[in-house]
A and B are shown apart, each in its own frame.
Chain A
């Protein structure tokens, strides 16, 4: 029997090329999230800290809607526009994740639309 696959939620802006999350089998695969206003879907560029906070706040809502939670996250990938900003991201990150936190990889790369932070994760559905 093949594992179930379903879209969990769509971002607000019309014609987006990817949903926020997809459930496949036992896991929830969350797309790379950048800082957006949850009401309008508009991008909210700011500092590394403010973008991290916005992303993780939105992630919390998304996980709850999907019947999951921060406790069920198994793996996080954080992309930063510059690794010099890692401590600023971390200061906010630790406020959201339980102890012990999930597995994580952080690296520096060029992000779309000049955003400073992008976070994706995989969680138990």
Chain B
């Protein structure tokens, strides 16, 4: 008989990056279950101030992925353990710029990826979510 998998919420060590708590929103930053960690979508937030950070798209992607690294490491995982990424852009024309920065974060054996464009809230230029293997 197999046991039911236990599911637990994860949280970033930096509380300014806990958008769910800060915004009192009905989600958690991520869930760990079995071998996997599923993260909620992350947007560009300055980790020093907790404020939205809107500059050129390259900067927004850099901040978002760096916060994602922090989130995964807080949960005992890492960018190297990511298996799937969804990158959403407000403007599909930003794809090449996004890509340039993205490669810096996944230089070796990158994860599966899907990129598309849709309406994003609060003037965010990107929103990124991922699934990773836990520790």
Contact = CB atoms under 8 A, between A and B. Distances in A.
Interface of A: 2-3, 5-7, 17-22, 24-27, 29-32, 77, 79, 109-112, 118, 120, 122
Contacts of B109: 5-7, 19
Nearest to A20: B112
B133 A25 contact: yes
A19 B106 contact: no
Contact of A30 (B99, B110, B112): B112
4 smallest A-B Cβ distances: which pairs? Answer: A32-B114, A24-B83, A18-B113, A110-B117
9 contacts: A18-B112, A24-B133, A29-B112, A31-B112, A32-B115, A110-B118, A111-B92, A111-B116, A122-B84
A9 B134 CA distance: 23
A32 B117 contact: no
B133 A29 contact: no
Given A25-B36, A111-B92, A19 B116 contact: no
Contacts of A19: 109-110, 112
Nearest to A23: B83
Interface string B93-106: 00100010011001
B135 interface: yes
Q: Tell me which of A24, A77, A122 has the highest count of chain B C-beta atoms within 10 A of its own C-beta.
A: A24
B84 A29 contact: yes
A18 B92 CA distance: 18
A89 to B, nearest CB: 15
Contacts of B95: 112
B131 interface: yes
A29 B110 contact: no
B62 interface: no
B99 A22 contact: no
